[in-house]
Structure 1
Amino acid sequence: MKKIFFFLSCASFIFLFSCSKISEEIVNPSENAKGGVTFTLLKSAIPPEVKVVSIKLERSGYPIVKDSVVLSTATDTVRMQVNNLIIGYWNLTVTAQDEFGIVKYTGFAYVQVLEGITTSVYIAMSPVGSGTGNLEIFIYWGLAKSKWTMYLNNPVLNQSPGGWDAEHFYVVDPTIVKVGSQYKMWYTSGNNSRQSIAYATSSNGINWTKHGIVIEKGPIESWFNNGVSDPTVIYEDGIYKMWFVGKHYENIHNGIGYATSIDGVNWTLPASPVISPSGTKPHLFGPCILKKEGIYFLYYTVGYSIYNREIFLMKSVNGTSWEDYGMVLKRREGLKWEEDGVFVPMVFYDEGKFKMYYSSMSDTRNSRITLYCGYTESNDGLTWINRPLYPELEAPHTKPWLTMSATYPYIIREGSKLRMWFSGLSTIPNQWQIGYAEQ
């Protein structure tokens, strides 16, 4: 099913929801604050029956703004610019018509224009159903040119046709350890109903050999009787140490466990989690372990609901008894790509500071979930600064691999180079897979 791709740049922030109409509860801004929007589309990416593309911006109490382009007279890169928009929310309608003026596709979103910030937003509109109908609009943030150079043959780890994981929706959330000349990866593999932790090895970090599942659900009486996920691993003194999430039939995120192994395959599992959920921390997931100067830093996610997640920190001298340092990162109000919280941190110490790559999510209220990856820094691992207003990684950055979400990275430094393995929701097939990039 072919997609229509749009790029947007604006003289302000633009926020887009998929298939939504804006509520009248939103406060109107000052009449003096304005911004502009430039819609850029690639003609070569549009289905051949589409001859005219039109945009319409609407807002209660303001004139309707329209523009259109006839594709037969346009170059491959086409721009439609709208200036002097009052900042705030505008309903957006995009239509694609054939040579007879019949609308073949119609998509809806809304745009929030904020004053004084320049950014870009990428929209991918996919036909839903068959024949003439609506469009499903995928919204991605950004987008200056990505800092990361994508591997051209992504994904580097995916489901094996006809194999044990062929029907798995998730091949996701990698954690990497390099021992000698060998890269070792543990990752989550499974479906929404159940996940396990799988293992793969590589001599170069790009070509991987899968070795199957190494940790799966425990017995019915165990605290992880419905699966495991979210591994984070370090290697020290000849022992692999893993912190992971246990899933229970009564709690999908039932605490963080600690396991050890001498070969990375056979693991000694705990009888109980080292960090358990509570009334104030109902769901615990997405741990990341870092050891610095003899202290273990464990960053992890507390989920209050699907609409609100925050990142917490605990410290330990032995990896099993933990001191709680509380919440260290939360969503920023007004940023659409962080609207449903921040979660699954990846933290490492590099160039004299702590660096965190974290995940965020938007649009869960509208049945379209898009995940992103943000970035921030810290001098002490507690207070986080230098946090850009746009994502570090999102779906458009992964091209030529076409994805709908890009997040859950794992990063290591080798000399002057940063190497990143990340999770992408591939468009075809519709499965989470693991990609690779460098900086």
Structure 2
Amino acid sequence: MARPNHLWRRGLWPLRLTAVVLLGTALMIALAFDRVPAWAAANYSFGNNYPIPIPDPANYDQTAYTRGLWVSGSTVYQAFVDYNGSFKNVFLTRSSDGAGTWSTPVQISPYSANQFRPSFVATDCTTPRQHLSHVDYRTGQPQVYYSRSTDGGATFPHQVSLTDTDPGMSDLPRIDAHCDTVALAWWRGNSGVNEVWVAHSTDGGTTFTKSKVQTTNVTSGNVNVDVAVDGSGGTHVVWDDYSVSRGQRAVYYSQTTDGSTWSTPAMINSPFSGYSNAELAPVVDTDASNAVYVAWQAPAVSSLNHIYLSRSSDGGATWTTQTQVDDTANDKSDNVQCQYPSLRVQDFPADSGFSEGPSMFLAWHDNRIDPYRGGVYFAFSSQVDLFSMNFPVDDWNGYDRYYYPSIAVNDKGQAFVSYSRYGSPRTVKVVRGHPTEWERRGTVLTPRAGEFDECSVMDPHVIHRTSASGSYYWMYYTGVGSDTEGQIGLAYSEDGLAWTRYASGGGLIIPKGGVPPYNNNGVFRPVVIRNPNGWQLWATGAQSGSEWRGLYYTSTDGFSWTPHPTAVLAPTAGTWDAQGVSPCSVIRNGDLYMMWYAGNDGSNWHIGHATSSDGINWTKHGRVLAALPDTWEASVFDCTVRYAGGEYVMAYAAHGSPGKFGVARSTDGITWNRGSIPHAPWTEQDSPWWGPAGSVGFETRHVSNPYIFTEGEMQKMYYAGSNQTDPMAGGYLIGTANRGVTKAMWKADSYTAISPPGSTAEAYRMGGMPLKFEAASLTIEDILGPVIGPYDATRERIGRWNPITGTYLEYPNLGTPFAGMGMWFLFRDGLNHTFAGYRITGSTLAGIDGLGAIGIELAPGWNQVCNPYSHTLDLEGAIVTDTQTAWYYLLSGSNTFTQQALWGYEGTYIPLTGLDPGEGAWIKNLTSGTITLVFLDTAATFTRGVSSRASYAGMELPPAPPGAVDTPTTGSGGAAGGGGGGGGGGGGCFVGAAGD
């Protein structure tokens, strides 16, 4: 361990960040938050489908309709209809925690008559109000009613019929409002004449004036209407009407600024092919600049619809070319029906994470999963002419239908969608979702006909390896053949996108059958780590008539594997994992192997934890991440755990329906806190951060097997996806996604640099900078200048050894700072200053013990380094490598790349066994080429058995501090060298010498 009297203490300094890296980081931040979105790769993820309350659990049947949902912040309102066995009545319920829990539903009208099609909006200007419209049959004919609340929807004392005295029927009402302006639009039918009407209020709904917008040409079917009120009080109405000139229905638009004088109706949509009298169900909304957006359904062929959108920025005079929102086949060759669109437009500021300005959010009914039923899908965009891929919203289980979605979006971009689930009885559910910073890169590995992986490829495990033959990503994966039984394969890639199977065996490296037992019916889910002692792999074995078990293999090269003769992890009878276990993730943290594995209780999968001293004999510590019934986490069965920066982070797969990914965090690997996508503060705890998407490709219904690692300032993920409804039905392919590590993801940290007062060689201290900063460019002067002021060599000395020239560099000309850079410090008056910045964490790409790591390049000869982390380092775990063929533990007797020592300084040179945060040291590269010193990102203790290491006696000592006279160049024996340092100092000019 580090010497306890070392005077560099944990605080905040920069770590290994070159100017180039910092510039790249700043650019990534800018791209993540202010780029023109690549909407084809943009992603949204939806979590739990929450049922709303049931007024009478003994007798109910619920239905919700488009525009029945409203949200502001985390307050959500849902209007719905419930059938009590005698009548259908309108209710309103409210949630204050983002749809997690709901208030007791309030019945809007107590009359004993059927009520339908509620529409709701809330305003929060000077006087907050809640407005609701619905259809009421109390007179025997459907009529439009308006209700208002001023107490958050608890009561609706103000109710009025807007159409009781009108002839005929009035139906399909919609409502919208802004501050004191309230508008309702509806369809009136009387003796074959169909009209569009609007009621308009400028006093918050106390009084209304009615006006007819248009007499339509519709003679059969409904006239579907919608209304929007903009920020200036202007009212916008859309409806579908029969166009005589076209011989088909079309979408029409009109607007008013005074509530009674309407603009000439404008036709919006292009002609379509298919059923001529198709109802188009248009919906409308406006943005902060009062631009108007209209979405509708229209048939592409026959009666199969697409969802379209158009925008007008000039009050309806001109409209953009209609854009297809759904990503189903343009010619409907996929036989997918898209209908009942719901639209909301939300404006975002520049620092929101969205593109500044308006973004469009849509949800609709979609039967791409089952042509006889169907689910609910979602898309979004900030560009009118290009939408994101589509994302499933509902928890479709293959038996029910989902209709009449309604969408609402808050100011953080969190989307809420409600829908009617047509089961028996029918229910209403609300689901919430959020955007993610991850971007899909597509499929990278697919099955091959006639090979061991011809049906599925899944369970990717990726590391990066540099060897004499080049620098490659290696992917260990499961391939499933026609016999539905898995075997383990290997592929490699230069760029992580284009992959080639390992030539030997067609990529098959671990076949099923033989030794060990329990794998005659498949071996799958490879988990790989490596270190200087070799390669280790854990896998899952399947055996007919027996539960899944954990298997173990070793290798010297990562290609050829030797099996352990017996299973190393087995189910425990009578417990939560009695029906099978499957290793998912392993790290070696110091001397302790830590495994997270899936266990089956006969109904669902859960995640458990086990530890081992040798990777073979495991002690279980119970279930650490349990499945959550009736949620998207109804079964959790796969995970990747990474440890860096003092925190365990678990990405896990859950299959409620459909399969999605969650994240959890822990400080000990045992107690886990489920969370949302990292660093998205508006996202509620239960929301997953990744899910299925699209209408074509490999992941339209399920995603599974997340494997995540960091590479520089980028996080990368490989995962499996399937288009099958049943997650166990196979058909998986492997894809990839990535995201930049932005400033929002950095952890704030501090470092207190302490150097005692002094002016002699004994007062020198070696140290470095265990922090990173957000500046796009960084120099040592940028960091120290504000603290020490103008550099005065008679009061301080700051220097760094240049291994190329064999001389010292003097402040401020010390070169570009990097993680692990060591320097000399001497201050006549001392230094005690706390720096503020961000914690440095290691990259997990190399797969070394499954831990994060930072590599420091060593030139031939002497090099100054430091501990770049905010925790102490046990040097028994330090590694040196030529990155080509060989790896050694630094302090091992087999290490021929460097001295088998790191040297510290406390007035004389001493060999170190540990490094405190920011503590500096010397190391000598004994080769003629570049060697990499690897520090693992853990404070754990390592026992490597280094008794064969050469004695420190006789080892060459490092150069003397700058300005010191030459002293003996070798140690005088014992563990600590007796000399003050090697050659290379000279001059004897210490700080303050003239004054002394």
Output the TM-score relative to the length of structure 2.
0.33
Unmatched tracts of structure 1, length 5 or more: 1-6, 17-21, 29-34, 39-55, 82-94, 108-118, 364-369
CA distance in 1, matches of 2:537, 2:716: 21
Deviation digits for residues 28-73 of structure 1 (CA, Å, limit 9, x no counterpart): 8xxxxxx9548xxxxxxxxxxxxxxxxx976543545487685942
Give the partner amino acid of 2:462: I
344-353 vs 294-303, which moves further: 344-353
For residue 513 of structure 2, what is the aligned residue in structure 1?
Answer: 218
Residue 148 (structure 1) aligned with residue 434 (structure 2): no
Is residue 219–residue 225 contact of structure 1 (8 Å, CA) maintained in 2? yes
For residue 435 of structure 1, what is the aligned residue in structure 2?
Answer: 735
Give the partner amino acid of 1:294: D
Deviation digits for residues 268-316 of structure 1 (CA, Å, limit 9, x no counterpart): 11221111123122211252111222321100011113x4221100011
CA distance in 1, matches of 2:393, 2:488: 29
Per the TM alignment, residue 146 of structure 1 is displaced from its structure 2 partner at its CA by 1.6
Alignment equivalent of 1:135, drawn from 369, 373, 388:
373
For residue 811 of structure 2, what is the aligned residue in structure 1?
Answer: none
Rg bigger for which structure?
2
CA distance in 2, matches of 1:404, 1:325: 34
1:121/1:412 CA distance change after superposition, 3 Å:
farther
Give the partner amino acid of 2:461: T
Identity of matched residues, %:
23
Per the TM alignment, residue 324 of structure 1 is displaced from its structure 2 partner at its CA by 1.5
1:60/1:25 CA distance change after superposition, 3 Å:
same
Deviation digits for residues 162-196 of structure 1 (CA, Å, limit 9, x no counterpart): 4525731x211111122222211111110573111
1:311/1:60 CA distance change after superposition, 3 Å:
farther
CA distance in 2, matches of 1:80, 1:283: 51
Is residue 105–residue 135 contact of structure 1 (8 Å, CA) maintained in 2? no
Deviation digits for residues 378-406 of structure 1 (CA, Å, limit 9, x no counterpart): 11111112523111210138998652112
Secondary structure at 1:314 match in 2: strand
CA distance in 2, matches of 1:165, 1:234: 24
CA distance in 1, matches of 2:611, 2:364: 39
Alignment equivalent of 1:269, drawn from 543, 551, 563:
563
Residue 126 (structure 1) aligned with residue 368 (structure 2): yes
CA distance in 2, matches of 1:26, 1:213: 58
User: Mapping of 1:411-430 within 5 angstroms?
Assistant: 411-426=708-723
Per the TM alignment, residue 202 of structure 1 is displaced from its structure 2 partner at its CA by 1.3
Is residue 196–residue 213 contact of structure 1 (8 Å, CA) maintained in 2? yes
Per the TM alignment, residue 342 of structure 1 is displaced from its structure 2 partner at its CA by 1.2
Secondary structure at 2:693 match in 1: helix
CA distance in 2, matches of 1:434, 1:405: 12
CA distance in 1, matches of 2:528, 2:461: 6
For residue 292 of structure 2, what is the aligned residue in structure 1?
Answer: none
Secondary structure at 2:690 match in 1: coil
Give the partner amino acid of 1:172: M
CA distance in 1, matches of 2:524, 2:589: 25
Alignment equivalent of 1:301, drawn from 578, 586, 598:
598
CA distance in 1, matches of 2:541, 2:572: 15
For residue 572 of structure 2, what is the aligned residue in structure 1?
Answer: 278
Deviation digits for residues 232-276 of structure 1 (CA, Å, limit 9, x no counterpart): 10111252210000010113x421011011222221112211111
Residue 345 (structure 1) aligned with residue 642 (structure 2): no
Alignment equivalent of 1:244, drawn from 539, 548, 573:
539
CA distance in 2, matches of 1:59, 1:174: 48
For residue 111 of structure 2, what is the aligned residue in structure 1?
Answer: none
CA distance in 2, matches of 1:379, 1:352: 7
Is residue 286–residue 345 contact of structure 1 (8 Å, CA) maintained in 2? no
Give the partner amino acid of 2:373: L
1:148/1:120 CA distance change after superposition, 3 Å:
farther
Is residue 461–residue 707 contact of structure 2 (8 Å, CA) maintained in 1? yes
Per the TM alignment, residue 135 of structure 1 is displaced from its structure 2 partner at its CA by 3.2
Give the partner amino acid of 1:323: T
Secondary structure at 1:337 match in 2: coil
1:137/1:316 CA distance change after superposition, 3 Å:
same
Is residue 479–residue 489 contact of structure 2 (8 Å, CA) maintained in 1? yes
Deviation digits for residues 60-97 of structure 1 (CA, Å, limit 9, x no counterpart): 4354548768594277998869xxxxxxxxxxxxx998
Alignment equivalent of 1:405, drawn from 689, 699, 702:
702
Residue 361 (structure 1) aligned with residue 361 (structure 2): no
User: Mapping of 1:4-403 within 5 angstroms?
Assistant: 14-15=49-50, 36-37=68-69, 59-61=82-84, 62-63=88-89, 65=117, 72-73=250-251, 124-126=366-368, 128=370, 134-137=372-375, 139-140=392-393, 143-151=433-441, 154-160=442-448, 162=449, 164-165=451-452, 167-168=454-455, 170-180=456-466, 181-191=471-481, 193-211=484-502, 212-219=507-514, 222-237=517-532, 239-251=534-546, 253-279=547-573, 280=575, 281-305=578-602, 307-334=603-630, 336-339=631-634, 341-363=635-657, 370-388=658-676, 389-396=686-693, 403=700
CA distance in 1, matches of 2:732, 2:613: 35
Secondary structure at 1:264 match in 2: coil
CA distance in 2, matches of 1:106, 1:287: 39
Which protein is richer in strand relative to its size?
A: 1
Give the partner amino acid of 2:372: N
Secondary structure at 1:383 match in 2: coil
Is residue 639–residue 650 contact of structure 2 (8 Å, CA) maintained in 1? yes
56-65 vs 206-215, which moves further: 56-65
1:401/1:432 CA distance change after superposition, 3 Å:
closer
CA distance in 1, matches of 2:735, 2:451: 20
Secondary structure at 2:513 match in 1: coil
70-79 vs 59-68, which moves further: 70-79
CA distance in 2, matches of 1:79, 1:409: 40
Unmatched tracts of structure 2, length 5 or more: 1-42, 61-66, 71-78, 90-115, 119-171, 173-223, 226-239, 241-248, 252-267, 271-279, 285-296, 306-334, 339-360, 377-391, 395-431, 677-685, 725-729, 740-996
1:127/1:355 CA distance change after superposition, 3 Å:
closer
Per the TM alignment, residue 220 of structure 1 is displaced from its structure 2 partner at its CA by 9.8
Is residue 120–residue 144 contact of structure 1 (8 Å, CA) maintained in 2? no
Aligned length: 362
1:97/1:291 CA distance change after superposition, 3 Å:
same
Per the TM alignment, residue 205 of structure 1 is displaced from its structure 2 partner at its CA by 1.7
Output the TM-score relative to the length of structure 1.
0.70
Give the partner amino acid of 2:538: W
Per the TM alignment, residue 421 of structure 1 is displaced from its structure 2 partner at its CA by 0.7
- The alignment's C-alpha RMSD in Å is 4.3
CA distance in 2, matches of 1:165, 1:267: 18
CA distance in 2, matches of 1:351, 1:176: 21
CA distance in 2, matches of 1:391, 1:216: 35
1:120/1:185 CA distance change after superposition, 3 Å:
farther
CA distance in 2, matches of 1:313, 1:407: 20
1:80/1:362 CA distance change after superposition, 3 Å:
farther
Secondary structure at 1:396 match in 2: coil
